[in-house]
Amino acid sequence: MAELTNDAASNQGAELVIRDLHVSVEGEEGAREILSGVNLTIKSGEIHAIMGPNGSGKSTLAYSIAGHPKYTVTSGSVTLDGEDVLAMSVDERAKAGLFLAMQYPVEVPGVTVSNFLRTAATAIRGEAPKLRTWMGEVKDSMEKLKVDPAFAQRNVNEGFSGGERKRHEILQMDLLKPKVAILDETDSGLDVDALKVVSEGVNRVHAEQGTGLLLITHTTRLLKQIPAQYVHVFVDGRIAESGGPELAEKIDAEGYEAFATPASASA
């Protein structure tokens, strides 16, 4: 494992704990429960993968942890190092050390990548990073992610390819140094080369910073590049089974039907 940086040493010992989490979303026919009692613990340095079919609630878990207003937590708890995450605003969750890389990062017209990154770092660190030092940090991270320096002057995600959007997400993760990072369908829309570069970036950040990772995906493609120690199968809004890398191999061989509950299998 690579030597941890001084700034990232505080990530050691971090722990995200999710207990009996129930989440609903308002629809045309009223509230509908999406998550039905999720239990999960992620510690610094660990890589967890949540795998499941489309519509099983994987992304709902990610956005609920991050604080998306669309989702209502009806019961259960989420804590980070013992602090109540659900009582925090979205920006407080980021400051506490949570990070979400979205499946479909949004465009932010009129805001350059350079300004966006420095503003985010200022909010997380509590003070603006010294310009010369900051420029060195950004340049170094961009080089490792094979990002053209001109990228910094483009508007956030405006006209970006799928690979560029995902590299920007990992660039943020590298510079903001979260305790726990949730990567929602990071392999979505990436070709083989882009996936390799992005995965190498994730693996490097994890090794250097000790970041706890939660990978959300519905295929084993990403896990061949970012090996997870723990694999959880998500079915009908809850974890149906947990195990090691062998569980991903079982999914590859048998599909998700092997884990379906009788009710969902007959639906």
In the predicted structure, residue 206 carries a pLDDT above the cut 50: yes
Question: What pLDDT digit, counting tens, does each position of 136-172 carry?
Answer: 999 999 998 888 888 899 999 998 888 888 989 999 9
Maximal C-alpha separation, the chain: 61
Residue 255: how many CB atoms within 10 A of its CB? Answer: 11
Domains (ranges, CATH) in the chain? Answer: 9-266 (3.40.50.300)
**Confidence at residue 106, expressed as pLDDT on a 0 to 100 scale:** 86
Q: State how far the Cα of 110 lies from the Cα of 199, in Å rounded to an integer.
A: 29
Question: What pLDDT digit, counting tens, does each position of 23-48 carry?
Answer: 999 877 778 999 999 999 999 999 99
Question: What pLDDT digit, counting tens, does each position of 49-88 carry?
Answer: 999 988 899 999 999 999 999 999 999 999 999 999 999 9
Q: State how far the Cα of 152 lies from the Cα of 142, in Å rounded to an integer.
A: 9
- The confidence band for 12, taking pLDDT boundaries of 50, 70 and 90, is low
pTM for the model: 0.89
208: left (phi over 0), alpha (psi -120 to 50) or beta: alpha
Q: In the structure encoding, which two tokens stand for residue 42, read together?
A: 């992620």
Task: Average the pLDDT over each of 4-13, 32-41, 123-132, 211-220 and give the range with the smallest value.
Answer: 4-13
In sequence order, what are the beta bridge partners of 78? 18
Residue 130 phi, psi (nearest 5): -60, 135
In the predicted structure, residue 132 carries a pLDDT above the cut 90: no
Instruction: Calculate mean pLDDT across residues 2-7.
Output: 49
Q: State how far the Cα of 22 lies from the Cα of 258, in Å rounded to an integer.
A: 24
Q: State how far the Cα of 118 lies from the Cα of 15, in Å rounded to an integer.
A: 27
Q: State how far the Cα of 119 lies from the Cα of 9, in Å rounded to an integer.
A: 23
**Confidence at residue 146, expressed as pLDDT on a 0 to 100 scale:** 86
- Give me the percent of the chain exceeding a pLDDT of 70: 93
